[in-house]
């Protein structure tokens, strides 16, 4: 009986100390990594045939201030925090697309995220869906993209692989 009490008294502090893990620390500047881009057939809200694209990327933010609050009547802050540059393959070379290119996306808004507790690090995956109404068999594109957190820290720039819009496929690094 005495041995059992001694074992319990020894194991309780060991279990307590083991449960107090170190809090992971990351830089306040967000980091992103391209994972995949899927091209698929779809229909727009008017019933027109179109191509869809779904970008998936991984993110991590050390201070957990990613995403923007919902828009309000008074907007004294940024309204977009996910930025894209479009490139088209022309004569075998990727070149920046002009601003009036029909495939060029506008900026996107990552919704407000906050983690409660001591560890504020945010990690996860974000998926963005694109709709292509005008495309041809020759369209080969690529995106560069980055994010900005609420403290205006700008992430690294990630790039997709080359994407052939006419071919339904999943493009990965």
Does 99 fall in a domain?
A: yes
Q: Quick check: 93 pLDDT over 80?
A: yes
Q: Quick check: 20 pLDDT over 90?
A: no
Does 152 fall in a domain?
A: yes
- Total structural domains in the chain? 1
Does 90 fall in a domain?
A: yes
Q: Quick check: 37 pLDDT over 70?
A: yes
Owning domain of residue 101: 24-172
91: tokens are: 């004569």
Q: What is the domain-level CATH number for residue 166? A: 2.60.40
pLDDT (0 to 100) of residue 143: 97
Q: Counting Cβ atoms within 10 Å, is residue 155 exposed (0-12), middle (13-18) or buried (19+)?
A: buried
Does 59 fall in a domain?
A: yes
pLDDT (0 to 100) of residue 10: 59
Torsion of Cα atoms, 117 then 122 then 124 then 127, to 10°: 120
Instruction: Express as a percent the part of the chain with pLDDT over 90.
Output: 67
Does 14 fall in a domain?
A: no
Among 44-53, 72-81, 97-106, the least confident range: 72-81
Q: Could you report the per-residue pLDDT of 135-154, keeping only the tens digit for each? A: 999 999 999 999 999 999 99
122: tokens are: 């945010």
Does 134 fall in a domain?
A: yes
- pLDDT band at residue 116 using 50, 70 and 90 as cut-offs: confident
Taking residue 110's Cβ as centre, other Cβ atoms within 10 Å add up to 18
25: tokens are: 């620390």
Does 45 fall in a domain?
A: yes
- pLDDT band at residue 11 using 50, 70 and 90 as cut-offs: low
CA 157 to chain centre: 11
Q: Quick check: 104 pLDDT over 80?
A: yes
Does 150 fall in a domain?
A: yes
């Amino acid at each position: 009986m005495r041995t059992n009490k001694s074992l319990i008294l020894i194991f309780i502090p060991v279990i307590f100390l083991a449960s107090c893990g170190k809090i992971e620390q990351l830089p306040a500047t967000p980091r992103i990594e391209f994972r995949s881009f899927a091209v698929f057939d779809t229909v727009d809200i008017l019933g027109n045939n179109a191509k869809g694209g779904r970008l998936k990327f991984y993110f991590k933010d050390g201070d957990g201030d990613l995403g923007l609050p919902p828009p309000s009547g008074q907007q004294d802050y940024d309204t977009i925090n996910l930025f894209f540059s479009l490139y088209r393959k022309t004569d075998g070379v990727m070149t920046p697309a002009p601003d009036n290119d029909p495939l060029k996306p506008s900026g996107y808004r990552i919704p407000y995220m906050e983690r409660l507790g001591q560890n504020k690090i945010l990690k996860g995956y974000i998926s963005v869906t694109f709709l292509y109404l005008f495309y041809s068999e020759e369209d080969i594109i690529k995106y560069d993209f980055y994010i900005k957190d609420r403290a205006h820290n700008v992430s690294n720039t990630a790039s997709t692989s080359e994407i052939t819009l006419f071919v339904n496929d999943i493009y990965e690094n």
